[in-house]
Amino acid sequence: MTLDQRVLRDGFGRFATGVTVVSCTNPDGQPHGATVNAFTAVSLDPALCQVTLTRKSKAGGYLDGAPFAVNVLAAEQQHIAWHFAGRPQEPGPKWTDGPTAPVLIGNAATISCRPWRTYDGGDHLIVLGEVVDIEFTDAEPLLFFAGRFRELGEVDTTAHWAASVDCPHASWFGLPSGADLSRVPA
């Protein structure tokens, strides 16, 4: 059974993701980037993250054994996402040197990586990087959901999660009654 690619894309698109630009250098040593929403943390020890790029992308070819950075875009960087998705914007992006690769200025977070492994992912490449540096700000992230860019909205705080079995006040985490929850790791 083969699924229609449009149906598959629409189904995958129901999962809200952050928006990143994976940056590296091209063979001429110039900064290059690609908008990617297939990014995830993989491991804390060793510190690894993963990006997935289409095999047809220039960045996919440039990342073969090369250092890179994952620029987690801030909400006000939608124009940067479009720029690296093939719709150049003016003014263009502002770059700076990062620990492993060129990085964009103004990100919500910047994750600098050394190459770890690359795997076959069908029509995509699965690229793992060893995180060697990470910087982050308080900026709200740019999100992507159902084929559109989005921003975080306010969370409904009127409903307390005490009705959930995950509520720390209900001792789901094995805490003694009356424990100081401010000392519990998130």
CA dist., res. 145 & res. 151, Å (int):
10
In this prediction the pTM is 0.80
Contact 72, 106 (CB under 8 A): no
In the chain, what's the furthest Cα-to-Cα distance?
62
Structural domains of the chain, with CATH: 10-153 (2.30.110.10)
* Span 72-84, pLDDT tens digits: 999 999 999 999 9
* Span 64-113, pLDDT tens digits: 899 999 999 999 999 999 999 988 888 889 999 999 999 999 999 999 99
pLDDT of residue 65: 92
Give phi and psi for 5, each to the nearest 5: -60, -35
CA dist., res. 55 & res. 175, Å (int):
48
